[in-house]
């Protein structure tokens, strides 16, 4: 290896220079995503007199829930398109461009929901192309046998994610304060544009990573794919048009229908795996039965955890004294607590899992995570009861996010690891995407929990969700011996956090 090559590989904290390009691109893309998320629900619920869409909070919660759910669901087809048609590098480029146009649509100050719907649709499609494939490109920067360096590189990459997630709510929330919604959406546009500029400028540093599809379609397969894609799109458009013309369409019904579809997806998928032969061994079938329990636990966790941009945001805006150390903050800025705590506690939990080793298994970590997210909503119940029609200290939300992060660091880093471990040989590649479907299911169902608030008080709502999580966690603890038998081994926790 020449000295020039060595210098290149050590130019970004001892890693290939391409990592700097991908680090910056992902950081700015996450800035745009978390910036939009920080104000989307309050924008939807705000009165048209101040530039909002005038939706009920329950409707806004449901729509933000299915929006987040679709973001994770489209990672599966997005990865397939890159692997078979575009290649990862072009998929990330096109995805970033589509995301940017989506934010531009959101930033148009027109008093209609049409541009908002178009913008969200473009962001969903673009994220499906960008998110799974930029992570894949990080892995391709390293030789096959460089596992330690690759793991360290991913740690830096995920630091970029959390930096973007931390800064975005503060900046976008400040710009959008005072009902300047589209100024906030414009900042998200600028963030994605900066990410694209860095990505294009740093193309040469990627050293060909992701230039070509891994399994390019033949000409006949490409024509078939195009016909199926166009036919599916046309069928969806026709179905929605007929639904609207029938006079029964509503945003609440639309969100509910999408939620049902999203929940059905993993049911059909797991049924397909377990009911078909696929040459699965008895050990693989047992592992899949154990994985279904963990999948369901993860969905319950995300159902509560991802209420941050809706329920917790509304509470911050309506019932919280937004003063931190004597400095006024925006309601959106409270969502920066989560990534801040992640960056602080990742090394602590990484060291803890190493020290505990095999003594704590994946099911036990999942159960702990469920109990933690449940306890966070016990805190929310107390805060909402004290608030009444007034306001409580923002430190209540600080406590909620802190407890939730303890749960996330017990569940999120283990999720992909246990998925790869329990995946049958015939489904190794596909199963990595299945983990994200758990997030999708949780987000969609979480959005629908807003319907409960029409029939109960806020403290009762929070305690109901807390009880679901805690009971699920206790049940999982009780079933740990059985799951360990099905899994046939102890879990080895990875050393770093993987933020999704």
Alpha carbon distance 314, 180 (integer Å): 17
Q: Is the pLDDT of residue 500 over 50?
A: no
The more confident residue out of 277 and 300 is 300
Distance from the Cα of residue 452 to its chain's centroid: 24
**What pLDDT does 150 receive?**
65
Q: Is the pLDDT of residue 190 over 60?
A: yes
pTM above 0.85, yes or no: yes
- Give the mean model confidence (pLDDT) for residues 475-490: 79
- Give the mean model confidence (pLDDT) for residues 236-254: 89
Q: How many percent of the chain have pLDDT more than 70?
A: 90
Alpha carbon distance 311, 306 (integer Å): 9
The more confident residue out of 3 and 473 is 473
Q: Is the pLDDT of residue 239 over 60?
A: yes
**What pLDDT does 9 receive?**
47
Tell me the per-residue pLDDT of 32-83, one tens digit each, with 9 for 90 and over.
999 999 999 999 999 888 888 989 999 999 999 999 999 988 888 887 787 7
Q: What is the mean pLDDT of the chain?
A: 85
Residue 140 parent element (H or E): helix 114-140
Residue 392 parent element (H or E): strand 392-393
pLDDT class of 309 with cuts at 50, 70, 90: very high
CA atoms lying within 13 Å on the CB side of residue 187: 24
**What pLDDT does 490 receive?**
46
**CB of 318 within 8 A of CB of 400?**
no
Tell me the per-residue pLDDT of 344-368, one tens digit each, with 9 for 90 and over.
988 888 788 778 777 788 888 899 9
Q: Residue 204 burial by CB count (10 A; 0-12/13-18/19+): exposed, middle or buried?
A: exposed
Alpha carbon distance 295, 299 (integer Å): 6
Alpha carbon distance 113, 140 (integer Å): 41
Alpha carbon distance 449, 311 (integer Å): 10
- Give the mean model confidence (pLDDT) for residues 392-405: 95
**CB of 213 within 8 A of CB of 84?**
yes
The more confident residue out of 432 and 8 is 432
**What pLDDT does 12 receive?**
62
Q: Is the pLDDT of residue 96 over 50?
A: yes
Spatial CB neighbours of 21, under 8 Å, sequence gap ≥ 6: 198, 199, 201, 202, 203, 205, 206
pLDDT class of 157 with cuts at 50, 70, 90: confident
The residue whose two tokens read 């925006």 is 330
Neighbouring CB atoms inside 10 A of 395's CB total 13
**What pLDDT does 145 receive?**
58
**What pLDDT does 78 receive?**
82
**What pLDDT does 14 receive?**
66
Alpha carbon distance 199, 21 (integer Å): 6
Tell me the per-residue pLDDT of 250-295, one tens digit each, with 9 for 90 and over.
889 999 999 999 999 999 988 888 887 777 888 888 888 888 999 9
**What pLDDT does 442 receive?**
95
**CB of 164 within 8 A of CB of 26?**
yes
**What pLDDT does 20 receive?**
81
- How far CA 104 is from CA of 120, 164, 494, in Å, comes to 10, 19, 39
- b/e for 262-290, b at 16 or more Cβ within 10 A? bbeebeebbeebeeeeeebeeebebbbbb
Alpha carbon distance 296, 438 (integer Å): 7
- How far CA 281 is from CA of 147, 287, 320, 426, in Å, comes to 29, 10, 55, 11
- Give the mean model confidence (pLDDT) for residues 397-419: 88
Q: Is the pLDDT of residue 126 over 50?
A: yes
pLDDT class of 148 with cuts at 50, 70, 90: low
Beta bridge partners of 198: none
- Give the mean model confidence (pLDDT) for residues 117-127: 92
**What pLDDT does 2 receive?**
45
Q: Residue 238 burial by CB count (10 A; 0-12/13-18/19+): exposed, middle or buried?
A: exposed
- Give the mean model confidence (pLDDT) for residues 76-93: 82
Its sign, for the CA torsion 482, 488, 490, 495, is negative
Provide the token pair at 405: 């992060």
**What pLDDT does 491 receive?**
41
Provide the token pair at 345: 């506690």
Q: Is the pLDDT of residue 247 over 60?
A: yes
């Amino acid at each position: 290896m020449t000295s020039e090559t060595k210098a290149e590989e050590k130019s970004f904290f001892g890693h290939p220079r391409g990592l700097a390009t991908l680090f910056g691109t992902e950081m700015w893309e996450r800035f745009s995503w978390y910036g939009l998320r920080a104000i989307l629900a309050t924008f939807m619920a705000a009165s048209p007199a101040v530039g909002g869409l005038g939706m009920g909070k329950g409707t806004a919660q449901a729509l933000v829930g299915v929006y987040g759910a679709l973001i994770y669901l489209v990672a599966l087809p997005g990865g397939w398109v890159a692997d078979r048609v575009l290649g990862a590098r072009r998929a990330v480029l096109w995805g970033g461009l589509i995301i940017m146009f989506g934010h531009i649509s959101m930033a148009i100050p027109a008093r209609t929901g049409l541009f908002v719907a178009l913008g969200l649709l473009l962001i969903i499609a673009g994220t499906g192309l960008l998110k799974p494939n930029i992570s894949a490109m990080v892995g391709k920067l390293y030789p096959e046998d460089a596992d330690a360096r690759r793991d360290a590189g991913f740690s830096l990459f995920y630091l970029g994610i959390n930096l973007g997630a931390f800064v975005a709510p503060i900046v976008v929330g400040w710009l959008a304060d005072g009902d300047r919604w589209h100024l906030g959406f414009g900042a998200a546009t600028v963030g994605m544009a900066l990410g694209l500029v860095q990505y294009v400028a740093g193309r040469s540093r990627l050293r060909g990573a992701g230039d070509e599809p891994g399994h390019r379609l033949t000409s006949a397969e490409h024509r078939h794919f195009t016909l199926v894609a166009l036919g599916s799109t046309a069928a969806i458009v026709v179905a929605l048009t007929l639904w609207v013309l029938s006079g029964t369409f509503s945003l609440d019904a639309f969100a509910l229908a999408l939620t049902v579809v999203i929940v059905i997806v993993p049911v059909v998928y797991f049924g397909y795996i377990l009911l078909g032969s696929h040459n699965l061994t008895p050990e693989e079938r047992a592992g899949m039965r154990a994985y279904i329990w963990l999948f369901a636990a993860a969905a319950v966790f995300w159902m509560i955890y991802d209420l941050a941009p809706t329920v917790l945001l509304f509470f911050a805006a309506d019932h919280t004294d937004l003063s931190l150390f004597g400095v006024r903050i925006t309601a959106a800025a409270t969502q920066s607590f989560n990534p801040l705590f992640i960056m602080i506690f990742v090394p602590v939990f990484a060291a803890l899992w190493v020290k505990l080793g095999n003594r704590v298994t994946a099911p036990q970590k999942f159960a702990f995570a469920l109990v933690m997210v449940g306890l966070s909503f016990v805190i929310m119940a107390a805060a909402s009861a004290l608030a009444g029609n007034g306001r409580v200290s923002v430190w209540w939300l600080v406590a909620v996010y802190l407890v939730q992060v303890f749960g996330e660091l017990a569940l999120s880093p283990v999720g992909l690891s246990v998925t790869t471990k329990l995946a049958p040989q015939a489904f190794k590649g596909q199963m990595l995407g299945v983990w994200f479907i758990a997030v999708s299911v949780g987000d969609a169902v979480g959005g629908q929990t807003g319907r409960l608030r029409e029939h109960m008080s806020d403290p009762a709502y929070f305690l109901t969700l807390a009880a679901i999580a805690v009971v699920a966690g206790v049940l999982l603890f009780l079933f740990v011996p059985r799951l360990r038998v099905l899994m046939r081994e102890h879990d080895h926790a990875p050393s770093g956090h993987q933020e999704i």
